Amino acid sequence: MRFHTRKWVKPEDLNPNGTLFGGKLLAWIDEEAALYSIVQLENNRVVTKYMSEINFMSKATEGDIVEIGIDVKKFGSSSLTLKCEVRNMRTRETIITVEDIIMVNLGDDGKPKPHGKTKIEYIKDRLKEQ
């Protein structure tokens, strides 16, 4: 799994218990999944269709740096299935896992559209092909 993004847990991210608010973490994950899909599918119109059960395994507290990892599980026709793990950057302790995040590629009409992708692509390889 590649951990692309780091976030610093700030006071405004905390719940009344003084730990990272779960909703905030889910918003970070959703944004990361959307950006990852936009880059992979080369389309800005991608939406989150489904998230499987989430498992909060440990907490994060103010000042922690967390990193968000994404893996591709499956390229469908219009869909992309991702897996996500968020961990503490310094201790490597897992904070949350999400087994399945289904993102759907849309056409201009807002309906699912085949993306034509079958494997992970890297920007550096795309640039070489130009």
Ligand X SMILES: CCCCCCCCCCCCCCCC(=O)SCCNC(=O)CCNC(=O)[C@H](O)C(C)(C)COP(=O)(O)OP(=O)(O)OC[C@H]1O[C@@H](n2cnc3c(N)ncnc32)[C@H](O)[C@@H]1OP(=O)(O)O
Give me the residues that bind ligand X (CB under 6 A), please: 30-31, 34-35, 38, 44, 47-50, 76-79, 102, 104, 106, 112
Q: How far is the CB of 12 from ligand X (least distance, A)?
A: 20
**Cβ proximity to ligand X, 18 vs 22, nearer residue:** 22
**Cβ proximity to ligand X, 86 vs 88, nearer residue:** 86
Between CA 58 and CA 107 the distance in angstroms is 39
Task: Give Dmax (Cα) for the chain.
Answer: 52
Q: What is the rounded radius of gyration, in angstroms, for the C-alpha atoms of the chain?
A: 16
Contact indicator for 13, 31 with CB cutoff of 8 Å: no
At residue 85's C-alpha, the angle toward residues 99 and 43, to 5°, is 75
Q: How far is the CB of 17 from ligand X (least distance, A)?
A: 27
**Cβ proximity to ligand X, 38 vs 72, nearer residue:** 38
Q: How far is the CB of 86 from ligand X (least distance, A)?
A: 17
Residue that the structure tokens 């494997």 belong to: 119
